[in-house]
Chain A
Amino acid sequence: DGGITQSPKYLFRKEGQNVTLSCEQNLNHDAMYWYRQDPGQGLRLIYYSQIVNDFQKGDIAEGYSVSREKKESFPLTVTSAQKNPTAFYLCASSNGGALSYEQYFGPGTRLTVT
């Protein structure tokens, strides 16, 4: 199923709580990405990481944090500072090699904050 997994599929939290979304890949890909998807707005990049222990902010990083301690894992924390956290979150990975540009997506986590 693509070798990239996200958990849980659905997540419910109260406002003011931090929540961490999991993303794991067994594709041996160097690069990993987090996107947020809202209706009518396409996919917007939150953070990305090209190698272990390194990551960069995307277009909408405010209120989010990430870590990349292992090549296989790229968890995303949605903090209480994120003003509108309810959304569908997609993780992706890419080997970034000269012969491959494709990003492979996980199944997504739908986060609802009330």
Chain B
Amino acid sequence: GENVEQHPSTLSVQEGDSAVIKCTYSDSASNYFPWYKQELGKRPQLIIDIRSNVGEKKDQRIAVTLNKTAKHFSLHITETQPEDSAVYFCAASRRGTGNQFYFGTGTSLTVIP
């Protein structure tokens, strides 16, 4: 089955700096890669996603890049703000398998004011 690894497990940045979280996956057939943000005690919420036919996607201060050859994808947050502090999860999925998601272990991001 698919195996998703996520690094780092914790990340602290100064407000205004950029944050980068990286994930690798093992199944070359995976074709959908979402990123979820989970604030303390709340449900995970989708912040951005990318499909395998695209190399990069951007939404305001958030961007995701995908390297299919190397089987890794990254989340980039620019101009970080204190409200970006949360746990971020990456996931990989392959159509035709019930849309089953395989999640990384999460990155706890702290933005220091």
> Which positions in A face B, CB cutoff 8 Å?
2, 31, 33, 35, 40-45, 48, 50, 56, 58-59, 90, 94, 96, 101-103, 105-108
In the complex formed, the residue of B with least CB distance to A101 is B32
> Does the CB pair A45–B49 fall under 8 Å?
no
> Does the CB pair A2–B99 fall under 8 Å?
no
> Does the CB pair B43–A107 fall under 8 Å?
yes
> Does the CB pair B44–A105 fall under 8 Å?
yes
> Does the CB pair A90–B44 fall under 8 Å?
yes
In the complex formed, the residue of B with least CB distance to A44 is B103
CA distance A102 to B93 in the complex (A): 10
Shortest Cβ distance from A9 into chain B, in angstroms? 9
Is the CB of B67 closer than 8 A to any CB of chain A? no
> Does the CB pair A107–B105 fall under 8 Å?
no
Other A-B pairs beyond A50-B98, A96-B99, A101-B32, 12, CB < 8 Å: A33-B100, A40-B9, A40-B105, A42-B104, A42-B105, A43-B103, A48-B100, A56-B98, A96-B98, A103-B46, A105-B45, A106-B43
